[in-house]
Amino acid sequence: MNDVKDGVLRRAVMAPIAGVLAGALLLTGVGCSTSTETVDSTELTLQENAELRERIAEIEASLAFCQDENDALSGQNSDLASALTQAQADLQVANATSRPAAAAQPMSAFGNIEGAEIFQRGDSIVVAVAGDVLFSSGRASLKNDAKKTLDRIASVLNATYPGQVVRVEGYTDNDPIRKSKWSSNEHLSAERSLTVEKYLVSRGVNNDRIYAAAFGPSNP
């Protein structure tokens, strides 16, 4: 009887202990699974960090290349700007050198052209022909005698000043226009300067070196 009791008692005591041991084993098993997941996560993070570092290195290399390209282009831009400045300076020197040569041509080359006055204006030689020699009042068509004067002027321009720019200036008096097809003295002076320009071109003056300007009554 006692043995039976002792056996029951042992089983009663051993059952909780077995349950505790089973629980311990179970807990130990859970602990091992968490550690493995942590290791995997760490390895993944390290891999991602390595990939990010490689990407950063590639971006830094690209940035350095772009910076080198930018420095090279900036240098080229600076060189071009210097070349442009030098070219402009050379052009100014060339212009300054050529102007005195043009002015050095003797005004006497025009001789005694009837109806024309020859004088110097700065570096330019001026051949002034009175408006009433060239045109009738309020008109923009040349008089027949005026063509003889312009013929002689064109001859000198072609022979003595073949490379010089010619400006034809048109003027009028300052009397208001009342009975004329021209709307203003400025308009009339423009037509007169164009008429003279066209005539000189017809007498051999290169069209690429001659142009017209109109002053109207601003300098009658």
Of residues 195 and 35, more confidence is placed in 195
Which pLDDT score, from 0 to 100, does residue 154 have?
95
> What span, in angstroms and rounded, lies between the C-alpha atoms of 82 and 90?
12
pTM of this prediction?
Answer: 0.51
Highest mean pLDDT among 31-40, 103-112, 166-175, 203-212: 203-212
Mean pLDDT of the 1-15 span = 48
- pLDDT-derived band at 83 (thresholds 50, 70, 90) equals confident
Q: Which of 17-26, 94-103, 113-122, 126-135 has the lowest mean pLDDT?
A: 17-26
* Summary mean pLDDT of the chain: 77
Give yes or no for residue 90 having a pLDDT over 50: yes
Give percent helix, percent strand, percent coil of the chain, each to the nearest 5.
70, 10, 20
pLDDT in tens, 160-202: 999 899 999 988 877 776 666 766 878 888 898 999 999 999 9
What pLDDT, on the 0 to 100 scale, is given for residue 102? 47
Both structure tokens of 214: 């109109």
Q: Quick one: pLDDT band at residue 23, thresholds 50, 70, 90?
A: very low
Check residue 177 and give its pLDDT. Answer: 66
pLDDT beyond 50 at 56:
yes
pLDDT of the residue at 166 = 95
Structure-token pair, residue 85? 């400045």
Contacts 24+ apart (CB under 8 A), 195-198: 195/140, 195/141, 195/142, 196/134, 196/142, 196/150, 196/168, 196/170, 197/168
Q: Which residues partner with 169 through β-bridges?
A: 213
